[in-house]
Amino acid sequence: MIDRRQFASLLALSGFAATTAGAAGKKIASPPPKAQPRLPPAPVKPRRLAEGDTVGMILPATLEFEPSLIDLGREQLEALGLKVKIGAHARDKVGSFAGTDRDRAADIH
């Protein structure tokens, strides 16, 4: 009976013999090359905002509990020379949201 060490030695030798015997008679096929991972496309960057450009203000999630902050944001953007269009449902209140799901989606679109 053979022990573990002898078994491991025989196993290693048999693997070596199989590879060298195959290499003597013919070329050993190499594994196919791994496919390169697909890189994500480069991000599309819009042009910089310039004076006179129009920007939209929407509240696609939580409503603004202090409505004057919407006006403050509008004034600050206008001070930068931008035209501001506030979403039709930005001041709506439905629970803790600025309008219904459909209204908020309409503002985004």
4-51 per-position pLDDT tens digit: 777 677 667 666 565 655 555 566 667 777 777 888 889 999 889 999
Tokens of 96: 């803790």
Nearest to 92 by CA among 69, 68, 72, 62: 62
Percent of the chain at pLDDT > 70 equals 77
At residue 27, the 3 state secondary structure works out as coil
Question: Beta partners for 62?
Answer: 97
∠ CA 106-107-109 to the nearest 5 degrees? 65
